[in-house]
Amino acid sequence: MAGTMSWSSAILVQCMLESLIYGISLVLFIQSVGTLLQKRRRQERLNMPLIVTAPLLFFFATLHILGATWMRVYRAFIEYPDGPEAYLTLITTPDKTLGQAGQISAVALADYMTVYRCWAIWGRNWLVVTIPVLTLIATFVSSIVFVTVQHHIDVKTSIFNGTVTSWTEAWLASSLCTTGICTALIIYRLTRVRSGLRDSGVETSCARTGTLTSRVILIIIESSAIYSVNNLLYCVLYAVKQVPETWFSNMESTIASITFSLIIIRVDQAVASGIELVSTRSMRPTSLGRCTSNAPRSPQSADGIALDFKPDRFEVRDEA
């Protein structure tokens, strides 16, 4: 059986929670766009994947909160003749479908960017991201199927129906695997680069205490943890058929937007602190306290760890 909390109570709590974090995502989105535009004023190379993805994720979060939250609550409590509980237990409604479109699109895009980031940091090595690509495909397919299944069964069927549950859990598990594997690969790669710098003496002679690699690792861990914990709670509560699963289900798209914006903002702040790390292959110290590399890159090198994730050359500067 579903939990003892009524759907109307759960949805009202969800409405408050999602509205709160949507406000946070709005502020962070504006700040992230400002951060990206500042690069243009500084005549730096613009990162088109970030410029396109940040607005899209925020758009999907907006689509979700408009449909699955605000419109749904209004129709349930104001318009529906049989009362809010009857409306909120319907497995499909036009506003819920609109919200689901935003939800699955945000998750798919966030997972895609995670795979892209991993692929770029590993020197665009497709072999490394083989499993994440497969889990990404599984995420996309299962998300389409679970929404489609809901539209082909009786509208009064519970969302905890066995067929719906299996596809929803498959979708969540695939997304969690994609995020977890890619995050582990990125952290491993950055840790290897940092160790290489330390062993060669570059890190101690040319970089300040608290290198950009260390900061990026922490930023990625924190952002992935926020996103993954929300998905994990959603998956667990859904598996045990508890109504509060709706809180975490409906925060997915907004949290995806928040974590993506946080990465943009915090990495830029780390770079602005005086350390610039673009990519690494071979390094030589100069009398100006700078480490540069002009050596040609091997096709097999996998050394890109840039903010824009496009490997070219390595440069560590101490502006002090």
Q: How far apart are CA 209 and CA 284, in angstroms?
A: 19
Q: Taking the complete model, does pTM exceed 0.95, yes or no?
A: no
Cβ(303)–Cβ(123) below 8 Å: yes
> Could you tell me which CATH number the domain at 7-316 has?
1.20.1070
Residue ranges in the chain whose pLDDT is less than 50: 1-3, 203-210, 275-320
- Summarised one tens digit per residue, pLDDT across range 225-254 is 999 999 999 999 999 989 999 999 999 999
Query: What pLDDT is attached to residue 270?
Result: 77
Query: What pLDDT is attached to residue 99?
Result: 93
Query: What pLDDT is attached to residue 202?
Result: 54
Bridge partners (DSSP) listed for residue 292: 284, 315
Bridge partners (DSSP) listed for residue 2: none
Q: How far apart are CA 212 and CA 195, in angstroms?
A: 13
Query: What pLDDT is attached to residue 298?
Result: 35
Query: What pLDDT is attached to residue 303?
Result: 36
Give me the sign of the Cα torsion angle 250, 253, 258, 259.
positive
Query: What pLDDT is attached to residue 304?
Result: 37
Query: What pLDDT is attached to residue 43?
Result: 66
